[in-house]
Amino acid sequence: MEYDYEKLKSAGRVSKDALLYARTVIKPGRRLIDAAEQIEKFIADKGCKHAFPVNLSTNEQAAHYTPEFDDARIIGEKDVIKVDLGARKDTYLTDCAVTVCLDSEYSSLVDASEKALENAISMVKAGRKVTEIGAEIEKTAKQSGFKVIRNLGGHGISQEDLHANVFIPNFANGDNTALEEGSVIAIEPFITTGIGSVTDGSFLQIFQLASDNTPRSTDAREAQAIIEREFSTYPFAMRWMIKQMGQEFRARKAVAELITIGNLDTFPVLVEKGNGMVAQSEKTLIVTKDACEIVT
Active-site positions read: 84, 95, 155, 163, 188, 282
201 Rama sector, left if φ>0, alpha if ψ -120 to 50, beta otherwise: beta
According to the binding rule CB under 5 A, does residue 64 interact with Co ion?
no
Contacts to Co ion from residues 168-197, by CB under 5 A:
186, 188
Number of residues that bind Co ion (CB under 5 A): 3
Region binding Co ion by CB under 5 A among candidate stretches 89-97, 112-120, 231-239, 285-293: 89-97
Closest contact distance (angstroms) between CB of 296 and Co ion is 11
Torsion sign (Cα): 124, 130, 135, 140 = positive
φ and ψ at 34, to 5 degrees?
A: -65, -40
Q: In 3D, which of 136, 150, 155, 135 has the Cα closest to residue 191?
A: 150
- The helix (H) or strand (E) run that includes residue 98 is strand 96-101
Which residue's CB is nearer to Co ion, number 62 or number 245? 62
Which residue's CB is nearer to Co ion, number 258 or number 287? 287
Q: In 3D, which of 192, 194, 207 has the Cα closest to residue 260?
A: 207
Closest contact distance (angstroms) between CB of 135 and Co ion is 20
According to the binding rule CB under 5 A, does residue 95 interact with Co ion?
yes
According to the binding rule CB under 5 A, does residue 60 interact with Co ion?
no
Closest contact distance (angstroms) between CB of 85 and Co ion is 10
Question: In whole angstroms, what is the distance from residue 75 CA to residue 196 CA?
Answer: 25
67 DSSP 8-state letter: P
Cβ-count burial of 195 within 10 angstroms (0-12 exposed, 13-18 middle, 19+ buried)?
middle
Buried b (16+ CB within 10 A) or exposed e, 159-173: beebebebbbbbbbb
Q: Which residue is nearest to Co ion (CB)?
A: 95
Closest contact distance (angstroms) between CB of 158 and Co ion is 13
Chain positions contacting Co ion, by CB under 5 A: 95, 186, 188
